A and B are shown apart, each in its own frame.
Chain A
Amino acid sequence: MNTMTTAQLQAALLHTCDVIIDAEGMLTNLDTIIGDGDHGIGMKTGFSALQTLLQGRQFEDAYTLMKESGMMLLKVMGGTSGVIFGTLFIGGLSALKDKDPVTVQDFAEYIDLGTQAIARRGKVSRGDKTMYDALSSARDAMLESAQAGDDVSAFFLAGADGARVGAEATKPMQSRMGRSKNFRDRTVGHPDSGAVSTSLIFKAFADYFA
């Protein structure tokens, strides 16, 4: 099966909310070492509001689901994460327009466009030690998987592996973006908290579709 329904995507998002909310402490600890310690709180705030939005609600299509989810993150989170994770959900919406069910190819394009939108808005590139390192790595793996004709399960597993590898790769980097860059060489040896939360999102999707 290489398609997913809106209801499945909504359930995967709800599972993602649980994962991110549970990870608040870990994300906060990571961000406290090399940032201002707000990442875990911000992600919990955003995904708690998203959880409330998703619970007991039916969405007409994947486009509406992702659009409303992104707008919710944008509204409630603030900080860098609000704009960036909001853009992740909203930036690639054109790939989901009138697509029901959504194929892995559609979803790969959705992630690809969202990744490009984040690069433009945040003026980030690979190696800056940000969530973009994990996201772009996931995007590459998902595009490859979609092209290979993988089913939904293998597709999201590829994305999760890509995101994990990308997040791991931020460990030896010195931060070049955001407040963490002021911690200079103290950032070396710790993964970027945004990259870790990105990998958690992709892992949550992979676990749901496994």
Chain B
Amino acid sequence: MVTNLCNSDTISSDFTSAMAAIHPDRVAAVPGSFNNRALIRIPVESDRVNLIVSAGGAGAPFPDSMVTCQAMADASVVGGKYAAPSAYDIYEAAKYIGSDKGYLLIYNNFMGDCLNNDMAAELMGIEGMKSSLIPYNDDCLSVDPKAPREERTGLLGQHFGIRIAALMAREGADLETLTDVIGRVRARTASLNVSFDTEKKLVELGRGISGEPARFVSDEDFSLEHAARWAYDYLVEDLAPKDDETLCVLVNRPFMANYEDLYIFSHALLKHATGRIPVRRMTPGHFGRHYYYYGFGVSMLSCPKDLVGYLKEQYATTSYIF
């Protein structure tokens, strides 16, 4: 169980204030903001498309990535405890940035996030601000595996899309191009949670971040290696990579999992891929979310050939800044 020692009623605004105070050369809070739950990357570059990423109360790692990485989101809006950010906070962030090139609104495909981003886009539209909505639906086990992809919710796959969109936006890509490209990236991304029931010695696939039951459970081999093999095989089957695509994998270490297990699990996945479809880019790190069980989030991008160059440099949100 993860414990927050801070005030749970004000955690998001306190966090925003803290980030802005500690990294005043990298991020800023929106002056006069109603809720103070949005961080803006500075210097603001309003002459290009800006990326606004929003996530629930567990979305704190997105601001972290803005501080630790040169090209990720331009604004990060977090919700209150367990809740999607309010439409008004997203709108306020866009208004502060003031881009006339438009905004890419990236979020996970949960109902609250969808409703608030929809409404934020409406509020922005009233004032003439252009936006595109990119709900990420990469969690291939969030719904019945036979259900249409549109019904899936999101996990961590949006990191790939954010990275590519951020770099392309800096090259001057317009909103329509970015919407199209990130739509393609999203369609080639799949994620799942791998978890371990340490009492019953079970490996699980597809447990939800709010405790939703796992989709698949295995008692045959309680090991990191078995879990890594299973995750790889499932994701490859789901994505069916094409010959000219490149596999990129991100492994998230939630708070409960230790670094040693993260690297051993990631290495096991790489070894298993050898002789199959190889993983060209492996990024283990702490990308966020409170999980209430021991395990990892695994996201795989079967990257289209024309976009691989954008993923050459790696980043991880480990908050080591010296």
| Docked pose: A105 CA to B116 CA in angstroms | 31
Binary contact track B51-67/A, C-beta < 8 Å → 1, others 0: 00000110000000000
**In the assembled complex, how far is the CB of residue A197 from the closest CB belonging to chain B, in whole angstroms?**
14
A83 touches B81 (CB 8 A): no
Asked whether any CB of chain A lies closer than 8 Å to the CB of B254, the reply is: no
Q: Are B112 and A83 in contact (CB under 8 A)?
A: yes
Distance between B143 CB and nearest chain A CB, rounded to angstroms: 7
Asked, given contacts A78-B79, A78-B80, A82-B86, whether A35 binds B112 with beta carbons under 8 Å apart, the answer is no
- Bound-state CA distance A80–B89 (Å) is 14
The verdict on A41 contacting B115 (CB below 8 Å), with A78-B89, A182-B212 known, is no
Complex contact A38–B143 (CB within 8 A)? no
Is there an interface contact between A75 and B35, defined as CB atoms closer than 8 Å? yes
Residues 70-85 of chain B, each 1 if its beta carbon lies under 8 Å from chain A, else 0: 0000000001111111
Residue of A nearest to B212 (CB): A182
CB distance from A199 to the nearest CB of B (A): 20
Q: Are B111's CB and A41's CB within 8 A?
A: no
Are B34 and A79 in contact (CB-based, < 8 A)? no
CA distance A18 to B74 in the complex (A): 39
Q: With contacts A38-B81, A182-B143 known, is A77 near B86, CB below 8 A? A: yes
The reply to whether the CB of B208 lies closer than 8 angstroms to some CB of chain A is yes
B222 CB-CB contact with A under 8 Å: no
Chain A residues, CB < 8 A from B110:
178-179
Instruction: Check if A74 is an interface residue, CB within 8 A of chain B.
Output: yes
Contact of B82 among A41, A76, A84 (CB under 8 A): A41
Pick from A37, A45, A79, A186: contact of B84, CB under 8 Å: A79
B87 in the interface, Cβ–Cβ < 8 Å? yes
Considering the chains assembled together, what is the distance between the CA atoms of A139 and B35 in angstroms?
32
- CB-defined interface of A73-110 with B at 8 Å, one 1/0 digit per residue? 01111111111100000000000000000000000000
Residues of A within 8 A of B84 (CB): 78-80, 82
Query: Residues of B contacting A74 with CB < 8 Å?
Result: 86-88, 119
B128-163 to A contact mask, C-beta < 8 Å, 1/0: 000000000000001100000000010000000000
Among A37, A45, A78, A184, which residue has its beta carbon within 8 angstroms of that of B85? A78
Interface residues on B, range: 20 to 34
A183, CB-defined interface residue at 8 Å:
yes
Interchain CB contact under 8 A, A182 and B80: no
Cα distance, A184 to B143, chains bound together (Å): 10
B210 within 8 A of A: yes
Q: Which of B8, B116, B153, B210 contacts A82 (CB 8 A)?
A: B116
Interface status of A191 (Cβ within 8 A of chain B): no
> Digit string of A147-181 for contact with B (CB within 8 Å is 1, else 0)?
00000000000000000000000000000011101
Which one, A36, A38, A78, A183, contacts B116 given CB within 8 A? Answer: A78
- Are A83 and B115 closer than 8 Å at their CB atoms? yes
Q: Which residues of A contact B35 (CB under 8 A)?
A: 75-76
Given A36-B210, A80-B111, is A182 in contact with B142 using a C-beta cutoff of 8 Å?
yes
B178–chain A nearest beta-carbon distance, Å: 25
Interface string of B185-197 (1 = CB under 8 A from A): 0000000000000
A170 to chain B, nearest CB (A): 16
Would you call A42 and B111 a contact (CB within 8 A)?
no
Closest to B139 in A: A182
Select the residue from B80, B85, B111 with max chain A CB neighbours within 10 A: B111
Residues of B within 8 A of A179 (CB): 110-111, 153, 208, 210, 212
Partner of B83, one of A75, A82, A84, A122: A82
Interface CB pairs A-B, < 8 A, 30 = A37-B82, A42-B80, A42-B82, A42-B83, A45-B9, A74-B86, A75-B34, A76-B35, A77-B86, A78-B79, A78-B83, A78-B116, A79-B56, A79-B80, A79-B82, A80-B111, A80-B112, A80-B115, A81-B83, A82-B84, A83-B112, A83-B115, A83-B118, A83-B119, A179-B111, A179-B210, A179-B212, A181-B143, A182-B142, A186-B213
Q: Interface on A for B, CB 8 Å cutoff?
A: 35-38, 41-42, 45, 74-84, 121-122, 177-179, 181-184, 186
